[in-house]
Chain A
Amino acid sequence: MKDNKPHNSFFTSDKDLYLRIKKYKDKEAFLTAYDAYAEDIYRFVYFKVGNTEDAQDITSSVFIKAWQLVQSGQLKDDGNYKGLKNFLYKVARNEAIDYYRLKHSTSFSEADIDADEKDIEDKSQDVFGEAALSLDKDILQKNLLKLKREYRTVLILYYINELSVSEIANITGKTKGSVRVTVFRALKALRELMEE
């Protein structure tokens, strides 16, 4: 069956992958992108929702949704090959917001939280309390999950998934300056929690 023929041997750089997915909607290339980014996306989602089952469900739906968007030509060319990674993070962020809406029947979005400078504690953290504590870095995880989502998002993206300020700005729709300030404030807030 010709569709099963792997294309991985032909061009393997991120740039080629991006071009193959965007221009040719290459399915094998998309599966290669899954291999490359699934762990990062899962980690990003995990720290957003706080439990393994939901993180797995959301990660699955992120890639399916992303493929649908690729097929409908919505993988935007933002001028560089990192567009694919940014695109996946954006889809993941939206999927996480949808998850909050469904799970808690709330109407807030990250944009609403961003507008609110008050340190709103994420209620969903209660769900994962035990799982988080079972991990080696339980205290840090627990405190990380106590942060408001905006802070948590930038800390995960910047320090754990090691994205650049530009990439985070692209994903979150903020300016680079705003991202830098948020990272600084988030780190300060986390330190204060750790010192309590």
Chain B
Amino acid sequence: MNDKELIAQLKKMESLKPNGEWLKANRQVLRAQIYNGREDCQELGFFAKFNLLAHRFSQPYAVAAIIVLFFAGSGALSSWMSKDAKPGEVLYTAKMISEKTKYTLTLNEDSKTKLNVEFAKERVDEMNDVLKTETKSENKVAILKDNFKKEVSQARERLAKNNPVVPKKANTPVASSKKPAATTARATSAAPQTNTNASFMTAADSKGLGGIDISVGETDNKKLEDVLKKESDNPVEILDKAQELFEKADYQGAKDALDKANELIQK
């Protein structure tokens, strides 16, 4: 017999137990003995219970849990409080940190793109607020423009990366917008339709927009909007349009474009 077998046999000795009836009877005897002793049991009063609780919460795991809860709670609170903060305000930094945290904690690539678009919309809202309420706002406007571009650019890059067949950027937006987008992955995957012209005409007709002549007597913004409405299946190009509209100070138009881009990404 080797040591291993011997140890295994020894461990089996654990099954040796006292008689259950004797164990119970002995408990009763012990109970009677200790309750008839010279000292009464000290009922745990409020302070005794408090002391035990304090002892428990002074343990390392409890302290760690409290710290984590504190940071999570304060993070959620500051995120909520800074929701409507504008550039230059103290809470705006908290808002930026909250957005970055949310972005970092999001793992899914599509969700990250959606977040970029959402944050770009936030920048548009902030721009509206700044222009409405402040006179000396050049610096803030510049920061917001810069941040908007960053968000849109990140969203565009991520879309191009995840879907390489999507055209990266249209250099001549109005002209190129008329090109059929039949080669895009989205059109291909969506698609019972292969004739893009037919598809956007149908979409435009359904909204009562058919027959718009974009070449005669319209402003640049109007043209962009029209193109936007027609190109309803290419989020990258719609993001480009959103940026152009934003640069031309058509913030509502930019926001609409971003909404549309978001809808397409969600599909």
Contact = CB atoms under 8 A, between A and B. Distances in A.
A64 B49 CA distance: 26
Contacts of A155: 10
A38 interface: yes
B52 interface: yes
Interface residues of B, number: 39
Q: Is chain B's binding surface mostly helix, strand, loop or mixed?
A: helix
A157 to B, nearest CB: 11
B18 to A, nearest CB: 4
Contact of B30 (A64, A135, A162, A187): A64
Contacts of A87: none
Interface in A22-42: 23-28, 30-31, 34-35, 38-39, 42
Nearest to B41: A27
B26 A60 contact: yes
B63 to A, nearest CB: 16
Interface stretch (B32-40, B109-117, B257-265): B32-40
Contacts of B30: 31, 34, 60, 63-64, 67
A35 B41 contact: no
Interface in A51-104: 52, 55-56, 59-60, 63-64, 67, 71
A16 interface: yes
Interface string A43-56: 10011000010011
Interface stretch (B1-9, B185-193, B197-205): B1-9
Contact of B13 (A11, A19, A60, A141): A141
Contacts of B17: 39, 42-43
Contact of A10 (B35, B49, B51): B49
Contact of A137 (B1, B7, B12, B29): B12
A194 interface: yes
Contacts of B19: 52, 56
Given A39-B18, A141-B13, A159-B11, A10 B44 contact: yes
A46 B16 contact: yes
A195 interface: yes
A57 to B, nearest CB: 10
A140 interface: yes
A118 interface: no
B43 interface: yes
Contacts of B10: 140, 144, 155, 159-160, 190
B14 interface: yes
A26 B41 contact: yes
A90 B132 CA distance: 81
B23 interface: yes
Contacts of B2: 191
B206 interface: no
Contacts of A35: 27
A156 B14 CA distance: 9
Contact of B39 (A16, A20, A25): A25
B93 to A, nearest CB: 44
Contact of A2 (B6, B7, B43): B43
A43 B14 contact: yes
A20 B44 contact: yes
Interface in B48-104: 48-49, 51-52, 55-56
Given A38-B18, A59-B26, A64-B33, A26 B42 contact: yes
A135 B31 CA distance: 31
Given A20-B44, A24-B42, A187-B3, 4 more contacts: A10-B49, A43-B16, A135-B16, A144-B10
Interface of B: 1-3, 6-7, 9-14, 16-19, 22-23, 26-27, 29-31, 33-35, 37-44, 48-49, 51-52, 55-56
